[in-house]
């Protein structure tokens, strides 16, 4: 019965112990601990069961471990010394059998107890120990007797004693199972942990009569537990660390994802992935943004994808992805995306296939970088470069790039054209350039380069080059320097401009300037060139002398400070000239600072710059004081002369008029005497004298008549009217009728004009010319032709004859009064006729001249101005 009861617990404990052994690997001690506990439990249960069975039997386990049947309600003395054997002999045989069985059981029990590895003990209800098992004695190395009572307590670790005592005093009175762990000193002084369990043994009334306890060495268990705890802690630490790592990894992943998204956004790079086996496509947020599509999981729809690219773009990307999968070739494409809103974006699409674990391609990863801004900037840059290139070409600008460190000088095509070199022959470099520069300019050009490299100046210089065909050209070179962090010039990029034409123009301009300056300086006139502020720019030497300015340098001096007394009207005229007018003065009196007066004539006109704007004014002046004085003198002389002429003419007129009378008397007397002597006998001497008197009188009369005619031409008012020159000619012919008839002359006249003239004088003019043409005839009868032709501002008349003609040396002289080419015997005359003609023509503001060939005839011409409407 006892074992039957105990067995399940024991089995359970064994099972538990076995399980425990597996865990801690120290099976023996724990197995025994489990066994001991099972035994104690079994005893406790057996006692409880006996009581429950009717209290008809009691068995006590004394100090020696014997079990004796006891009467109900008889307490067992636990120390074994004072116990009594109250026996009820109902069936002695049965009792003896039972007793033997019990004894045998007790022996087995005792043997079991003592074979337990636990330290077994027993004590009384008050805690005094009355039994310590041999294990206890062996463990502590102290005899049992020395430890009974409370002696065993000394073996407890000092630190555990109080706790052990408190647990006892708290639990023991209530009969609670005593279950505590404390350390017990071993015989070698080492303390080991024991688990102490004690169960109360009660009498029939339930009073505690004894305690049975075991101490199980759990040091190894605790060590194992400690190790386990340590392992646990380590595991926990590891788990914690791993968890921490995982959290960190998760955070890092989230951070990395966020960073990736931000990086994609910042870099305008979207990404996508194609799962090859399923064909599923995933786009990043940025790629949706670049394509102008709304964000979502996965990729674009088929419609979106086909609308996004043109046929060419789709074909390119499809082909590239296929090559990436099939041939594992990475690709890079530039594509133009059309967004749903109609805008376009340029992207660089790159992609690469990824292998799966089986070594086959299972994914394609790609990126699309939005390079629209770059593309636009590049296109703009290309356009700008094109414009620069066009401008450079148009301006014949050569571009060069000099890498100073490596001495590599790169020229563009225009440079080679400028220098007349062939790019295949001319290797470039500084030394090569040097050979092309004019020897006289190399030092100056290199000095500028040196200063530019030292950062002392910008590179901007002019030098000449000598082309292979010996042509010299002027080059202007400018450059931009590229400086490294230390301030050294690493590179220069510059331009060469052919300024030969410009230089030639400058030189020509300079030569013109110099010429102009020389011209002005030495001009035999007073010339000054002023700016708009009326400051002198150039003056002629004559200006200085005319205005008595000596050697004074007038450059930049104000005209008004040089001549402070200029009339206000002149200053106003200067302003008008600066506004574009041309001003001229008459003869102006100008009072100098010293009070002297000069006469001036001036002209001022603006001069203009190349752009047409007025740059200032030019003065051309003449100091006409001397001329003016001369004119005044002349005027006075003229007046005097006119007066004397008038007087003379008056005198001539009066004299010739007054001479007529006595002359007529003399002539009349001579003629009377001739008549009287004609009736008398001839006296040759007397008759010759009278004839001389009459002839002289006649000639004198003619002479006086001509002189009167001559003086009359210059006197009196001019009386001009519209005259028909044809009629005038007819009148003259009438006057000459007799002479014409006598000579058999033929006068032929072309139609003649009407003009404003003095008709009387004009008749005389024609009469004199026709008369001479008849008088100075040759062998043939005179043939006279009169014509007139219109010329600029007047009429030219001609009277042409076929007479004896005149030697050219006398063409001028014959118009002078009294000048004759023939004797009176050859041709009668006074030598006044042509002088009268000249005076008449001059009175009409015309002129007269003759053309003639001796022996062939003469052509007397006169020109008269037209004073009215031509008819």
**264 vs 772, beta carbon nearer ligand ADP:** 772
Contact present, 270 and 299 (Cβ < 8 Å): no
* Nearest distance from C-beta of residue 861 to ligand ADP, angstroms: 12
Please name the residues in contact with 395: beta carbons below 8 A apart, sequence gap of 6 or more. 497
**554 vs 747, beta carbon nearer ligand ADP:** 747
Q: Is 743 in the site for ligand ADP (CB under 6 A)?
A: no
* Nearest distance from C-beta of residue 693 to ligand ADP, angstroms: 22
* Binding residue for ligand ADP, selected from 164, 221, 806, 848, defined by CB under 6 A: 806
Contact present, 820 and 759 (Cβ < 8 Å): no
**706 vs 758, beta carbon nearer ligand ADP:** 706
* Nearest distance from C-beta of residue 778 to ligand ADP, angstroms: 9
Binding span for ligand ADP by CB under 6 A among 119-127, 481-489, 542-550, 830-838: 830-838
* Binding residue for ligand ADP, selected from 820, 843, 847, 867, defined by CB under 6 A: 820
Q: Is 80 in the site for ligand ADP (CB under 6 A)?
A: no
Residues in the chain: 871
Q: Is 841 in the site for ligand ADP (CB under 6 A)?
A: no
Strands (E), 28-124: 58-61, 67-70, 119-124
Q: Is 349 in the site for ligand ADP (CB under 6 A)?
A: no
Q: Is 773 in the site for ligand ADP (CB under 6 A)?
A: yes
Mapped to the 3 state alphabet, what secondary structure does 85-111 carry?
A: CCCCCCCHHHHHHHHHHHHHHHHHHHH
* Nearest distance from C-beta of residue 815 to ligand ADP, angstroms: 8
* Nearest distance from C-beta of residue 514 to ligand ADP, angstroms: 59
Contact present, 432 and 416 (Cβ < 8 Å): no
* Binding residue for ligand ADP, selected from 711, 802, 830, 838, defined by CB under 6 A: 830
Q: Is 707 in the site for ligand ADP (CB under 6 A)?
A: no
Residue 129, CA distances (Å) to 7, 122, 133, 841 in order: 29, 6, 11, 193
Contact present, 402 and 492 (Cβ < 8 Å): yes
**143 vs 828, beta carbon nearer ligand ADP:** 828
Q: Is 801 in the site for ligand ADP (CB under 6 A)?
A: yes
Taking the C-alpha atoms of residue 50 and residue 815, their distance in angstroms, rounded to an integer, is 204
Q: In the bound complex, which residue of the shown chain has the CB atom lying closest to ligand ADP?
A: 829
Angle at 80 between CA 77 and CA 82, to 5 degrees: 65
Q: Is 839 in the site for ligand ADP (CB under 6 A)?
A: no
Taking the C-alpha atoms of residue 104 and residue 87, their distance in angstroms, rounded to an integer, is 19
* Binding residue for ligand ADP, selected from 120, 577, 804, 848, defined by CB under 6 A: 804
Contact present, 210 and 199 (Cβ < 8 Å): no
Q: Is 821 in the site for ligand ADP (CB under 6 A)?
A: yes
Binding span for ligand ADP by CB under 6 A among 426-434, 480-488, 561-569, 803-811: 803-811
Residue 654, CA distances (Å) to 508, 659, 713 in order: 74, 8, 15
**214 vs 830, beta carbon nearer ligand ADP:** 830
Q: Is 772 in the site for ligand ADP (CB under 6 A)?
A: yes
* Binding residue for ligand ADP, selected from 196, 214, 711, 858, defined by CB under 6 A: 858
* Binding residue for ligand ADP, selected from 213, 299, 803, 846, defined by CB under 6 A: 803
> 272-301: which residues touch ligand ADP (CB under 6 A)?
none
- Roughly how many angstroms between the first and final C-alpha of the chain, as a whole number? 187
Q: Is 834 in the site for ligand ADP (CB under 6 A)?
A: yes
> 171-190: which residues touch ligand ADP (CB under 6 A)?
none
Q: Is 496 in the site for ligand ADP (CB under 6 A)?
A: no
**402 vs 710, beta carbon nearer ligand ADP:** 710
Q: Indicate the angle between helix axes 833-843 and 759-775, nearest 10 degrees.
A: 150
**313 vs 803, beta carbon nearer ligand ADP:** 803
Q: Is 862 in the site for ligand ADP (CB under 6 A)?
A: no
Taking the C-alpha atoms of residue 739 and residue 736, their distance in angstroms, rounded to an integer, is 5
- Say whether 464 sits in a helix, a strand or coil: strand
Mapped to the 3 state alphabet, what secondary structure does 386-433 carry?
A: HHHHHHHHHCCEEEEEEECCCCEEEECHHHHHHHCCCCCCCCCCHHHH
Q: Indicate the angle between helix axes 219-267 and 27-52, nearest 10 degrees.
A: 120
Q: Indicate the angle between helix axes 92-115 and 27-52, nearest 10 degrees.
A: 150
Q: Using CB under 6 A as the criterion, which residues of the chain lie in contact with ligand ADP when the complex forms?
A: 772-773, 776, 801, 803-804, 806, 814, 820-822, 829-834, 858
């Amino acid at each position: 019965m006892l074992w039957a009861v105990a067995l399940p617990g024991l089995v359970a404990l064994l099972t538990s112990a076995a399980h425990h052994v597996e865990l801690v690997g120290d099976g023996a001690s724990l197995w025994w601990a489990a066994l001991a506990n099972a035994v104690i439990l079994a005893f406790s249960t057996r006692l409880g069961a006996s009581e429950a069975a009717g209290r008809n039997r009691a068995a006590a386990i004394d100090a020696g471990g014997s079990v004796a049947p006891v009467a109900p309600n008889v307490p067992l003395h636990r120390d074994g010394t004072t116990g009594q054997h109250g026996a009820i002999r109902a069936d002695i045989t049965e009792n003896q059998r039972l007793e033997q069985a019990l004894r045998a059981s007790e022996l087995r029990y005792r043997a079991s107890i003592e074979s337990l590895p636990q330290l077994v003990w027993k004590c009384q209800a008050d805690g005094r120990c009355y039994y310590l098992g041999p294990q206890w004695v062996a463990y502590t190395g102290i005899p049992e007797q020395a430890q009974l009572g409370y002696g065993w307590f000394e073996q407890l670790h000092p630190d555990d004693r109080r706790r052990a005592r408190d647990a006892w005093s708290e639990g023991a009175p209530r009969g609670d199972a005593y279950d505590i762990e404390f350390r017990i000193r071993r015989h070698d002084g080492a303390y080991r942990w024991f688990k102490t369990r004690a169960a109360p043994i009660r009498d029939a009334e339930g009073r505690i009569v004894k305690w049975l306890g075991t101490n199980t060495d759990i040091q190894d268990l605790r060590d194992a537990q400690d190790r386990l705890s340590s392992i646990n802690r380590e595991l926990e630490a590891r788990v914690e660390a791993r968890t921490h790592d995982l959290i960190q990894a998760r955070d890092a992943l989230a951070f990395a994802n966020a960073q990736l998204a931000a990086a994609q956004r910042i870099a305008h790079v979207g990404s996508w992935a194609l799962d090859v086996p399923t064909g599923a496509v995933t786009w990043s947020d940025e790629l949706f943004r670049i394509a102008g599509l709304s964000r979502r999981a996965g990729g674009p729809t088929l419609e979106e994808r086909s609308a996004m690219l043109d046929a060419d773009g789709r074909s390119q990307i499809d082909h590239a992805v296929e090559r990436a999968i099939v041939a594992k070739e990475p690709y890079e494409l530039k594509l133009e995306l059309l967004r749903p809103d109609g805008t376009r974006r340029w992207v660089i699409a790159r992609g690469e296939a990824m292998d799966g674990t089986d070594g086959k391609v299972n994914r394609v990863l790609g990126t699309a970088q939005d390079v629209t801004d770059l593309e636009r900037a590049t296109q703009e840059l290309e356009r700008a470069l094109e414009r620069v290139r066009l401008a450079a070409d148009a301006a014949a600008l050569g571009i060069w790039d000099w890498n100073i460190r490596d001495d590599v000088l790169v020229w563009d095509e225009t440079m080679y054209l400028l220098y007349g070199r062939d790019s295949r022959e001319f290797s470039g470099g500084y030394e090569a350039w040097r050979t092309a520069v004019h020897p006289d300019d190399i030092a100056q050009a290199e000095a500028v380069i040196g200063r530019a490299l030292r950062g002392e100046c910008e590179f901007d210089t002019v030098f000449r080059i000598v082309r292979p065909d010996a042509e010299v050209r002027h080059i202007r070179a400018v450059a931009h320097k590229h400086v490294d962090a230390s301030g050294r010039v690493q590179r220069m990029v510059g331009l060469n401009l052919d300024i030969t034409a410009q230089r030639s123009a400058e030189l020509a301009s300079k030569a013109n300037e110099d010429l102009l300056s020389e011209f002005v300086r030495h001009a035999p006139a007073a010339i000054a060139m002023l700016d708009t502020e009326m400051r002198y720019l150039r003056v002629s030497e004559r200006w200085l002398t005319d205005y008595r300015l000596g050697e004074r340098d007038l450059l930049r001096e104000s005209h008004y400070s040089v001549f402070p007394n200029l009339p206000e009207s002149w200053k106003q005229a200067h302003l008008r000239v600066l506004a574009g007018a041309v001003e001229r003065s008459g003869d102006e009196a100008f009072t100098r600072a010293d009070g002297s007066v000069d006469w001036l004539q001036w002209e001022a006109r603006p001069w203009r710059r190349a752009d047409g704007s007025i740059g200032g004014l030019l003065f051309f002046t003449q100091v006409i004081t001397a001329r003016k004085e001369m004119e005044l003198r002349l005027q006075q002389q003229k007046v005097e002369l006119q007066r004397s002429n008038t007087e003379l003419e008056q005198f001539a007129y009066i004299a010739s008029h007054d001479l007529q009378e006595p002359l007529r008397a003399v002539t009349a007397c001579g003629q009377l005497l001739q008549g009287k002597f004609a009736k008398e006998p001839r006296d040759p001497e007397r008759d010759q004298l009278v004839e001389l008197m009459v002839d002289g009188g006649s000639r004198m009369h003619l002479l006086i008549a001509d002189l009167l005619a001559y003086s009359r031409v210059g006197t009196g008012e001019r009386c001009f009217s519209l005259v028909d020159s044809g009629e005038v000619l007819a009148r003259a012919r009438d006057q000459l009728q007799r002479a014409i008839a006598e000579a058999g002359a033929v006068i032929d006249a072309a139609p003649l004009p009407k003009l404003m003239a003095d008709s009387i004088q004009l008749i005389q003019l024609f009469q004199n010319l026709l008369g001479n043409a008849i008088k100075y005839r040759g062998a043939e009868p005179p043939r006279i032709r009169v014509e007139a032709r219109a010329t600029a501002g007047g009429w030219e008349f001609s009277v042409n004859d076929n007479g004896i003609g005149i030697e050219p040396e006398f063409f001028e002289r014959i118009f002078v009064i009294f000048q004759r080419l023939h004797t009176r015997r050859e041709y009668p005359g006074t030598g006044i006729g042509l002088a009268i003609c000249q005076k008449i023509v001059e009175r009409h503001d015309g002129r007269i001249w003759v053309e003639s060939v001796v022996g062939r005839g003469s052509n007397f011409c006169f020109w008269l101005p037209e004073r009215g409407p031509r008819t």
